[in-house]
Amino acid sequence: MNLKNKSSLIASCGINCQICYAFLREKNKCPGCRLFNKKEPVSIARCKIRTCDIKRKNKAKFCFNCKDFPCNNLKHLDKRYRTKYNVSMIENLFNIKKLGIQKFLKYEKEKWKCAECSGVICVHKKLCCNCGIKKF
């Protein structure tokens, strides 16, 4: 599996859904935060960032377009991901804003590509989903 250059797979919080365990797994595979429907995982339905009224009211595609950026919900999620997975959603959002989505996607493709088999490294497991080699 290779990372796709699809902006629809970058969540409004800045996480790349393509490196998420829920997206990479075979069983009960998540389609990504932006492609969610009522039949999909309840964790996406309950996500406070995805369902943010302020963001929807302002029609913000990414959280950095919101007047409350970064909000407390995003700061909390960012802290958890920085601590557990060494990934910052806020940094990702700044990079998307600065570089544009296509350059960000190219950067992500290289960052999360397995050096052994070119498969995708899972941010949560820190393993290649293809060959099982540990990345970090």
Domain housing 73: 8-111
How many Å apart are CA 31 and CA 40, to the nearest integer? 8
As given in the structure block, the two tokens for residue 127 are 């393993």
12 within some domain: yes
28 within some domain: yes
How many Å apart are CA 128 and CA 1, to the nearest integer? 10
127 within some domain: no
**Residues 123 and 92 sit within 8 Å (Cβ to Cβ):** no
106 within some domain: yes
Q: What is the pLDDT along the chain (136 residues), one digit of tens a residue?
A: 566 678 889 999 999 999 999 889 888 888 888 776 666 555 566 677 766 765 555 566 899 988 889 999 999 999 999 999 999 999 999 999 999 999 999 999 999 999 999 999 999 999 998 888 776 5
23 within some domain: yes
125 within some domain: no
pTM of the model: 0.84
136 within some domain: no
40 within some domain: yes
Alpha carbon of 107 to those of 45, 95, 101, 110, 119: distances in Å?
Answer: 29, 10, 10, 5, 15
Rg of the chain on CA atoms, in Å: 15
Based on the structure, what is the number of domains in the chain?
1
